[in-house]
Amino acid sequence: SWNIAPTHRVPAVGWRDGRRALRSLRWGLVPHHARTAEDGAKHANARAETIFERPAFRDAAHARRCLVPASGFYEWQRHGRDRTAWAFAPADGPLLALAGLWDRWFAPDGAELRTVALVTTDASDDVRAVHDRMPVILPRGAWDRWLDPRSELDRVREVLCPAPVGTLRGWAVDPRVGHVAHNDPGLLDPPPPARQPSLALG
């Protein structure tokens, strides 16, 4: 997909029996203790600074951490009332490993729903001019530390930081990305030039 939004399904790598396991989850975390599944879209992102304390994320942060592979992500840069869409992709390599939290929720009829939230942190210099937050991007050496629920929390917290400068490249893209009905490679093209007003001479 070229345009994934909350409530869409995403691949995620979790931890099962001491090994990484790939599964499909719905983006927008529904805590296992929620009364309904309606609030999932509100929990698409979780701030790294508070995941171990906030009730919506606390249990998942301790026991159900995951990685979400992605070829990039979008952010919006605000100019007063106007906005510019930007894409960020790995400067080297095909994929990023984004830190996530997952949970399972059971409906009254017993149906199971598995959902995920992305963990965010302060923006690095690669992103800061566009947005003040960014997803936590985990280097390969931190994957198992993040996934393993037996990891010491102090060591887990150490990886919840902005990615090193130079990890990402960014560029302005087509504003159509703001509408999830659009899903094609052209979303990554530079935005069309602004239309100039015409003059009628006579």
3-state secondary structure of 64: coil
Which among 95, 101, 90, 89 has a CA at the least distance from the CA of 60?
A: 101
Q: What is the pLDDT of residues 110-129, one digit of tens each?
A: 999 999 999 999 999 999 99
For residues 142 and 158, give the distance between their C-alpha atoms in angstroms, rounded to a whole number: 10
Burial annotation 130-156 (CB, 10 A radius, 16+ → b, else e):
bbeebbbbbeeebbeebbeeebeeeeb
pLDDT at site 201:
52
* CA pair distance 161, 169, nearest whole angstrom: 18
Q: C-alpha distances in angstroms, 55 versus 30, 38, 112?
A: 11, 17, 20
State the average pLDDT over residues 180-188.
96
Scan for tokens 């990039």, then name that residue: 72
Could you tell me the pTM of the whole model? 0.92
- Confidence (pLDDT) at 193: 78
pLDDT tops 70 at residue 200: no
What pLDDT does 38 receive?
A: 85
| Phi, psi angles (nearest 5°) of residue 41 | -65, -25
